[in-house]
Structure 1
Amino acid sequence: MDSSNPGTTVLLALLSVLLIVWFFRSKRPQYGRLPPAPPALPIVGNMFQMNIKAPHKSLIKLNKQYGPVFTLWFGSTPVVVLCGFATLKEGLIERGYDFSGRYLVPILQKISAGYGIGFSNGERWKQLRRFSLSTLKNFGMGKRSIEERIQEEAQFLVTAIRNKQEIPFNPDFLMRCAVSNNICSIVFGERFEYEDERFLTLMERAEGISRALSKPGVQIYNNFPKIMDFLPGPHQKIFQNIAGLKTFVNQMIQSHRDSLRKDFPRDYIDSFLNKMDEEKHNPNSEFTDENLLMSVVNLFLAGTETTSTTLQWAIQILVKYPHIQERIYQEICEVIGSCRRPSIEDRAKMPYTDAVIHEIQRYIDLVPMNLPRMATKDVEFRGYLIPKGTLVITLLSSALKATSHWETPESFNPNHFLDENGCFKKSESFMAFSAGKRMCLGASLARMELFLFLTTLLQNFVFNSVIDQKDIDISPAASGIVVIPHVYEFCAISR
């Protein structure tokens, strides 16, 4: 066929229009009354309208044009986006069950196959979450016993940093080790020395998974998984690291089986094994080997990466703004002193420190798009019909950076959490841990860790920059599921 013929050109154009019309007509009926959407292309949908290096920023822009509830097409898959504090509050809290499902995008499906507390749905998720919350509390989460573990680990971290002898170093690895040991003590029943070869490998795998999940290659994989499975790239490294992590966890589970004493469970794994034995004759039990493996992997990664990454951001921000670092130290001197270990009880007497920690979490916007949600049934929401099984993005960034709720949303400003009298001020739109039925399982642990680690570090050290403070870039180095900071070296000067 001669494409230079005007008739041929018109025919091709007509076929293209018909293809587009067919695409939308074939999709709309089965997807109900979806919210408004920007124009999409066949096959690729709205992919070319997304900033793959910072997809949440693209969603913020579309929010301004299409309102607080709109639709995107990832290929032929519709995605409903909820934006703004009021919409998120309605969707996550007031209508919490409706959007409590976990949508498994292709990379999460390949990693988990729907097993484990983080990536399960329905009755499986209910059983695992109920059990995990109870078990984590039994082993100290939110209680004095876990506070003492964190205090002890903070001292190990101080010793490791002091051994650097004020020579410039990147503190990220040591902080990751310290944070990870807290969740390891709950899940595995032990902590690891920072030089332990198994632990070093574990930390490398955890960091590799976190960084790879924040790179553009993951977005491409989710759009074309069958093709990407055959191609090299960072997504392949994720699968390798996950496989290595699963091997380690399986070894720990087998070790626990060999030494299990049913009347004296030592940790989460022992408790899960006991539950498996209790329900071995229940055909509907979700306490299986697959769910044990993935639940431990979920808890380990979430308990290691989110808090350690927040601490990495914290040190960078406090080095960039030394007057804030100094003001926290003055509050430490007034309330705690130089000898006593910081405790959780001190937080209520340290409003400025508490405000800085909250502002760090708000400003860095660690998980801007939340983990993907799913409509658990056909949902009537603000005049639209969102069918059961639809992928839903709850854009936490739109609450944490809302101009209507924060005086300077794009700037680091601890005054966002202080009233006119200098007292700590809560904000409903602070959704750093998400909200509702699938709110972060370890939120209470993370809050304790952030306060105790940061105050212990600043009680013992002044953190200084190797480069000019003005050159420290506190914008993200990568943005995906998690927002990753740039890498710098600092000097930790003993006080």
Structure 2
Amino acid sequence: MNNLSFSQSMWTISELFFLFVGSLLIINYLRVLWNSRSLPPGPFPLPFVGNLWRLKFQLHPATLTQLSKLYGKIYTVWLGDSPLVVLNGWRAVKDGIVSHSEELSGRPVASYLKDLLGGGGILMSNGHVWKQQRRFGLMTLRNLGLGKRGLESRIQDEAQYIVESFRAYKGAPFDPFNIITATVANVIAAVVFGHRFSIDDATYQELIKSNHGLLEGGASPWAKMYDILPWLMKHVPGPHQTAFTKIKFLRQFTKKEIRTHKENGLLEEPQDVIDYYLDQIEKRKTEVDSTFDEKNLISMVIDLFLAGTETTTTTLQWALLYMVAYPHIQQNIHEELDAVLDGSKVVCYEDRKRLPYTNAVIHEVQRFANIAAVGIPRTCVKEVKVYAFSLKKDTMVLANLDSVLFDPQCWKTPDQFNPNNFLDEKGDFLINEAFLPFSGGARVCLGEQLARYELFIFFTTLMRSYQFHLPEGVTEANTKYIYNLTLQPHPYQVCAIPR
């Protein structure tokens, strides 16, 4: 009899537990529905997952654009129980991240990327930390020669390295990915570490591989599950855990470089980001509000190396792919280069003013390839009115850059690869304010100017040196993309024929 009563008592406790948990879920769901009243319209959220099921657990640009056709230029999707306000089209994005730049300058305080990158440095930091670190980053890039001949000469040297590396294939088919990646990475390596690496260096190869590996899990369903269940996903195996392994290697590598710099002592004339940063740590060590420490230094180095390698590398990959996909455009570039640069030894960034067609092609590659299609969500640092909606402090906002770069109200032929999108009737280069491949506002890409230098000098030097075509037997280039944190081309091969 006593055993029976005990059993009945345990069953009652179990029932009460599930009733308690169920009540919490119901209350949380009702809270979601209540909060949605003050937000822009959007698809009806499901319990627990919100709209993730409808989004296929990804913030895919095509899906976001389709939803805008149903709910308007500004709408809300729910990532679990967290609302995300999505801005679509140039007018909505401009009213958000450009016109209200400072108000929308925050980053989500809890997310996969936040945990992965550590929340320090520039990319995922907030408030005073972000402002101080970003200001230092901009100042240091200028001091190291961004916009001056010093850094431009280094880019020109690396461009020649690509030319010579391509020449070794003697016109045979090859995949340009590794060469482009290693060369572009060497530019940013010189900026942050103070030296370049040999492409055959095993540690350097692992560094690049780890850097690239961070992107593969960032846009996966696993990452979105991490966003809504971080306490669980930290312990669940999956592709997202691979990225944490990669970041560990990058941190260890960076710590080793910092240790080497410390052993060499502070220099009267700093040579790289680490030198300048260690100098700042020493100068500001007595300041109470200083954010300069080794943790933020590591985060800044990884931020710069990640962004400075992947975006430029991926854009150059697309550029060569488009040249073999559109040979008539490649021919037009060759004609312009032969007419304007005849006799010039090296390509300079200043040459873009004399090469409007080539400059237009580079911009069209960035627009059409659209590699940072949706970017990283921001948060409102205070209440703000965007596109007729009042958004509360800490609301997450995502600018769908894909919808801007393909906005039919802003481009002559938005769905076609066409350099004339950046040329006027006279053939002169024409900038378009809807050109936002680097995003915009307070969180615009820190390395935008460096990327512009690299893209122009690398691409123009290659086009001046080679004619590119598809391997024999391949009749069509695959211009569809692979969706990661950036939109990447499928692996391909080209033949580089010296001109």
Structure 1 CA distance for aligned equivalents of residues 348 and 96 of structure 2: 36
Please list, as runs of the form range in 1=range in 2, the aligned pairs for 1:331-342 lying within 5 A after superposition.
Answer: 331-337=336-342, 340-342=345-347
Whether 2:396 is the aligned partner of 1:378: answer no
Residue aligning to 1:6: none
Cα-Cα RMSD = 2.0
Structure 1 CA distance for aligned equivalents of residues 496 and 229 of structure 2: 45
Pick from 75, 81, 85: which aligns with 1:76? 81
Whether 2:479 is the aligned partner of 1:474: answer yes
Residue aligned with 2:329, SS:
helix
Structure 1 CA distance for aligned equivalents of residues 162 and 309 of structure 2: 15
Change (3 A) 1:53 1:304: same
Residue aligning to 1:9: none
Residue aligning to 2:365: 360
Whether 2:480 is the aligned partner of 1:483: answer no
Q: State the AA in 1 paired with 2:207.
A: L
Residue aligning to 2:186: 181
Q: 1:261-294, CA deviations, whole angstroms, 9 ceiling, x for partnerless residues?
A: 3422111101100100111111211001110000
Whether 2:158 is the aligned partner of 1:153: answer yes
Change (3 A) 1:225 1:279: same
Measured after TM superposition, the shift of residue 166 of structure 1 is 2.3
Q: State the AA in 2 paired with 1:395.
A: N
Q: Is the 8 A contact 1:359 1:414 kept in 2?
A: yes
Measured after TM superposition, the shift of residue 203 of structure 1 is 1.3
Please list, as runs of the form range in 1=range in 2, the aligned pairs for 1:59-458 lying within 5 A after superposition.
Answer: 59-104=64-109, 106-337=111-342, 340-458=345-463
Residue aligning to 1:13: none
Structure 2 CA distance for aligned equivalents of residues 440 and 22 of structure 1: 40
Q: 1:365-423, CA deviations, whole angstroms, 9 ceiling, x for partnerless residues?
A: 11111211111012233332212111111111111011221232222111111111111
Q: Which moved more, 1:55-64 or 1:99-108?
A: 99-108
Q: Is the 8 A contact 1:377 1:389 kept in 2?
A: yes
Q: Is the 8 A contact 2:378 2:397 kept in 1?
A: yes
Q: Is the 8 A contact 2:266 2:278 kept in 1?
A: no
Change (3 A) 1:104 1:350: farther
Q: Is the 8 A contact 1:310 1:366 kept in 2?
A: yes
Q: Is the 8 A contact 1:400 1:431 kept in 2?
A: yes
Q: Taking structure 2 as the reference length, what is the TM-score of the superposition? A: 0.91
Structure 1 CA distance for aligned equivalents of residues 473 and 481 of structure 2: 19
Structure 1 CA distance for aligned equivalents of residues 312 and 318 of structure 2: 10
Q: State the AA in 1 paired with 2:144.
A: F
Q: State the AA in 2 paired with 1:492.
A: A
Percent identity of equivalent pairs: 39
Q: Is the 8 A contact 2:41 2:76 kept in 1?
A: yes
Q: Is the 8 A contact 1:181 1:192 kept in 2?
A: yes
Change (3 A) 1:259 1:45: same
Measured after TM superposition, the shift of residue 308 of structure 1 is 0.5
Q: Structure 1: give runs of 5+ residues left out of the alignment.
A: 1-17
Structure 2 CA distance for aligned equivalents of residues 494 and 180 of structure 1: 25
Q: How many residues are paired up?
A: 478
Change (3 A) 1:37 1:19: farther
Q: State the AA in 2 paired with 1:490.
A: V
Q: Taking structure 1 as the reference length, what is the TM-score of the superposition? A: 0.92
Q: State the AA in 2 paired with 1:146.
A: L
